[in-house]
């Protein structure tokens, strides 16, 4: 987790998602991005454009995913060693926003899609406006113009060329990565890490069955949409209701711990977290930088909990809950209680004397 934190910490925020895609998710991503854009003098001017492009990007993923003859489940049954989940990422930088989507496309349309994007990228603003009207009136591009309209609008609203890469999946399908760079300042272009880097993260998330990776701050405005997105990935059955509640409570406790105890550094992320699905269990992992004093407090708390049996945790939790003098440690006990002590943690000392605290919980 520390290595991933090091890679992503230069961004104001970074959110990567491999879970269930639907219209509700669009609203939650917009809510997440607005928190960062509206609270920044430099970025507030691109807020409306970014919201539009988030919706368009998601429509692109949903449109392709729902129209394919074979969905991802069929593909993974055919190719057990491969995975084909759709993907979305948004990075908030100091001077703009970079968003990337990925979905499967039939190899039969790869050539046509490349030609469309190359054509769009060769045009200026006025030419793009004319092409949009032509496609709308069905005098431009092909009769399969739905995706064409979306691509043209993305180019118009972002104000930059569409960045894309296509990676073969099997003999019938390929992964199509599309990236948009939206700059707050025309003189200082917002630049992404490159699609090869995004593809590397995508593959690592696939390998680890990760639904979500987020780095940034953990205020209430951020925690609410994050937890709502996670809820959409639960199997809505009666037998899982108790487990799902434990997951949400544990997640909120962990994220609040980052918000309260993490060291705040200007223009740097407060912390990082990911959630993975491993068979019937969910695995939550989070990390953040803490002071030496918080390290001493936390390590002492863990030393005590490490020695306890599972059946001892709930009585102690209830006792502390009824003791007004106890002001810390309850959240940690709640996490251990919900997980049945299926947890691991680590403290990494940093050159400046602070510590990177990493915790992993299985529910």
pLDDT at 69: 42
Q: What is the mean pLDDT of residues 119-137?
A: 91
Per-residue pLDDT band for 66 (boundaries 50, 70, 90) equals very low
Q: How far apart are alpha carbons 358 and 272 in whole angstroms?
A: 9
Strand 355-362 to 163-168 pairing: unpaired
Res. 191: pLDDT tops 80: no
Q: What is the mean pLDDT of residues 108-129?
A: 93
Per-residue pLDDT band for 182 (boundaries 50, 70, 90) equals very high
Q: Which residues contact 363 (CB under 8 A, 6 or more apart)?
A: 243, 246, 247, 250, 281, 282, 284, 338, 339, 342
Q: How far apart are alpha carbons 278 and 341 in whole angstroms?
A: 17
Residue written as tokens 């996670």?
230
Q: What is the mean pLDDT of residues 113-134?
A: 92
User: What's the CATH code of the domain at 146?
Assistant: 3.30.565
Percent of the chain residues topping a pLDDT of 90: 43
Res. 168: pLDDT tops 80: yes
3-state secondary structure of 345: strand
pLDDT at 142: 56
| β-bridge mates for residue 99, sequence order | 90, 180
Alpha helices for 22-173 (secondary structure H): 23-38, 47-67, 72-78, 110-121, 125-136, 145-158
Of the listed ranges 83-92, 111-120, 267-276, the least confidently predicted one is 267-276
> Which of 263, 267, 273, 261 has its CA nearest to residue 354?
263
Q: Which residues contact 320 (CB under 8 A, 6 or more apart)?
A: 326, 329, 330, 333
Instruction: Report the residue count for the chain.
Output: 363
pLDDT at 312: 85
In a domain, 293, yes or no: no
Per-residue pLDDT band for 78 (boundaries 50, 70, 90) equals low
pLDDT digits (tens, 9 = 90+) for 244-262: 888 998 998 898 888 777 8
Q: How far apart are alpha carbons 88 and 357 in whole angstroms?
A: 27
Q: What is the mean pLDDT of residues 208-224?
A: 90
In a domain, 157, yes or no: yes
Q: How far apart are alpha carbons 70 and 211 in whole angstroms?
A: 22
Q: What is the mean pLDDT of residues 81-90?
A: 79
pLDDT digits (tens, 9 = 90+) for 24-51: 888 899 999 999 998 888 899 999 999 9
In a domain, 63, yes or no: yes
Q: How far apart are alpha carbons 126 and 129 in whole angstroms?
A: 5
Per-residue pLDDT band for 362 (boundaries 50, 70, 90) equals very high
Per-residue pLDDT band for 308 (boundaries 50, 70, 90) equals confident
Of the listed ranges 5-14, 256-265, 286-295, the least confidently predicted one is 256-265
Res. 174: pLDDT tops 70: yes
pLDDT at 327: 58
* Dihedral in degrees, nearest 10, Cα atoms 304, 306, 311, 316: 20
Res. 176: pLDDT tops 90: yes
* Total domain count, the chain: 1
Which one has a higher pLDDT value, 108 or 67?
108
In a domain, 151, yes or no: yes
DSSP state of 263: P
Q: Which domain holds residue 134?
A: 16-207
Phi, psi of 83 (to 5 degrees): -130, 150
In a domain, 56, yes or no: yes
In a domain, 103, yes or no: yes
In a domain, 310, yes or no: no
Q: Tell me how far CA of residue 109 lies from CA of 134, 147, 149, in angstroms.
A: 21, 11, 16
- The pTM score is 0.86
In a domain, 153, yes or no: yes
- Which pairs count as long-range contacts for 316-322, CB under 8 Å and 24+ apart, including other chains? none
For 185-223, b where at least 16 C-beta lie within 10 A, e where not — what string? eeeeebebbebeebbebbeebeebbbbbbbbbbbeeebb
Res. 271: pLDDT tops 60: yes
Across the chain, mean pLDDT equals 84
Strand 343-349 to 163-168 pairing: unpaired
Which one has a higher pLDDT value, 10 or 14?
14
Residue 28: Cβ-neighbour burial (10 angstroms; 0-12, 13-18, 19+): middle
**Residues 230 and 205 sit within 8 Å (Cβ to Cβ):** no
Res. 230: pLDDT tops 70: yes
Residue 99: Cβ-neighbour burial (10 angstroms; 0-12, 13-18, 19+): buried
pLDDT at 24: 81
Of the listed ranges 59-63, 79-83, 289-293, the least confidently predicted one is 79-83
pLDDT at 265: 64
Query: SS3 sequence, 62-87?
Result: HHHHHHCCCCHHHHHHHCCCCCCCCE
Q: What is the mean pLDDT of residues 144-164?
A: 83
Alpha helices for 179-291 (secondary structure H): 195-207, 220-231, 241-261
Q: How far apart are alpha carbons 195 and 90 in whole angstroms?
A: 13
Res. 75: pLDDT tops 60: no
């Amino acid at each position: 987790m520390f290595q991933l934190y090091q890679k992503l910490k230069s961004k104001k925020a970074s959110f990567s998602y491999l879970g269930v895609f639907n219209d509700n998710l669009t609203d939650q991503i917009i809510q997440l991005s607005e928190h960062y854009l509206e609270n920044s003098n430099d970025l507030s001017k691109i807020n409306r454009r970014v919201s539009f492009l988030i919706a368009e990007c998601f429509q692109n993923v949903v449109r392709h995913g729902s129209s394919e003859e074979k969905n991802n489940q069929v593909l993974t049954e055919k190719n057990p060693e491969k995975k084909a989940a759709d993907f979305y990422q948004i990075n908030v930088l100091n001077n703009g926003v970079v968003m990337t989507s990925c979905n499967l496309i039939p190899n039969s349309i790869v050539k046509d899609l490349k030609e469309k994007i190359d054509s769009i990228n060769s045009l200026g603003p006025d030419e793009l406006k004319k092409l949009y009207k032509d496609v709308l009136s069905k005098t431009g591009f092909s009769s399969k113009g739905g995706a064409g309209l979306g691509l043209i609008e993305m180019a118009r609203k972002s104000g930059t060329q569409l960045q894309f890469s296509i990676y073969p999946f099997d003999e019938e399908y390929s992964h199509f990565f599309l990236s948009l760079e939206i700059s707050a300042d025309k003189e200082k272009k917002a630049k992404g890490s490159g699609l090869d880097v995004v593809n590397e993260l995508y593959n690592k998330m696939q390998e680890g069955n990760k639904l979500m990776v987020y780095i940034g701050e953990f205020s209430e405005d951020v925690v609410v949409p994050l937890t709502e997105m996670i809820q959409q990935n639960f199997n809505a059955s009666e037998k899982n209701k108790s487990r799902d509640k434990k997951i949400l409570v544990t997640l909120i406790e962990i994220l609040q711990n980052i918000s309260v105890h993490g060291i705040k550094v200007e223009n740097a992320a407060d912390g990082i977290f990911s959630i993975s699905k491993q068979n019937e269990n969910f695995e939550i992992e989070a990390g953040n930088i803490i002071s030496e004093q918080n390290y001493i407090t936390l390590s002492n708390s863990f030393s005590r909990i490490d020695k306890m049996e599972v059946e001892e945790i709930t009585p102690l939790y209830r006792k502390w809950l009824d003791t007004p003098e106890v002001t810390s440690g309850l959240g940690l006990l709640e996490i251990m209680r919900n997980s049945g002590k299926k947890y691991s943690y680590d403290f990494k000392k940093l050159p400046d004397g602070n510590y990177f605290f990493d915790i992993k919980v299985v529910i």
